[in-house]
Amino acid sequence: MVFRWDYVDQALAAKGEGVARVSAPDSVRLDFFLDGGLGGGFAIMIRDSIATPGGDDVRRYLPPVALLWAALGRLAVPALPDTVAKVDGDTLRADIGRNPSWRVTFVADRLTRLERIVDGRRLEWVGRTGAEVRYQNERSSRSLTLRISSTDEASPFDPAIWRR
């Protein structure tokens, strides 16, 4: 998957190009390149863990694992009791966990939104509309937007891409 990205928080704005190499069902390598050739970084996500060079410095720009998976179209939230679901035409909405902890929306067979709820308030979310994916953290005014320009099937990846 090839994309353009924009990141904004209270102290920084950056943009560039990126690529996601997904190995279904539970592995992805994300590479980010700053515009102007000023640098870049990468993240490797396997199941519910994420590894980045630079540790927390790089990781702070990315959504939490469950929301990053949602950005790629995969629902991977922790198992919680008390799920309530409602179907309205081709739309399925579900509240997962008590109070709830997560709110998810599918339209037809496509994950379109995942929200993390804390103390009854939406803390952060990922929305997927067409070729645009947006992550927003409501408390920190932090956002990451991906505009997907192409998605291609590829032959198996060299195992070296999964190393830091």
Whether the bond between 25 and the residue before it is cis, its omega within 30 degrees of 0, is: yes
Alpha-helical regions (H) of 13-120: 56-59, 65-71
> What pLDDT, in 10s, does the model give residues 139-148?
988 999 999 9
Q: Do 104 and 114 meet the contact criterion of CB atoms below 8 Å apart?
A: yes
Residue (of 20, 15, 23) closest to 68 by Cα position: 20
Report how far residue 151's alpha carbon sits from residue 35's, in angstroms, rounded to the nearest whole number: 21
Q: Which residue has the tokens 């979310």?
A: 125
- The pTM assigned to this predicted structure is 0.89
Q: What is the pLDDT of residue 154?
A: 75
Residue (of 46, 63, 34, 60) closest to 125 by Cα position: 63
Q: What are phi and psi of 135, to 5 degrees?
A: -105, 135
Q: What is the pLDDT of residue 55?
A: 66
Q: What is the pLDDT of residue 107?
A: 97
Q: Which residues contact 1 (CB under 8 A, 6 or more apart)?
A: 19, 20, 22, 72, 148, 150, 151, 152
Domains of the chain: 2-151 (2.50.20.10)
Task: Report, in this order, helix, strand and coil percent for the chain, each rounded to 5.
Answer: 10, 50, 35
Tens of pLDDT along the chain (164 residues)? 999 999 999 998 999 999 999 988 899 999 999 998 878 889 999 999 998 887 666 777 889 999 999 999 999 998 898 999 999 999 999 999 988 999 999 999 999 999 999 999 999 999 999 999 999 999 988 999 999 999 888 777 777 777 76
Q: What is the pLDDT of residue 164?
A: 62
Q: What is the pLDDT of residue 40?
A: 84
Q: What is the pLDDT of residue 57?
A: 63
Report how far residue 57's alpha carbon sits from residue 144's, in angstroms, rounded to the nearest whole number: 16
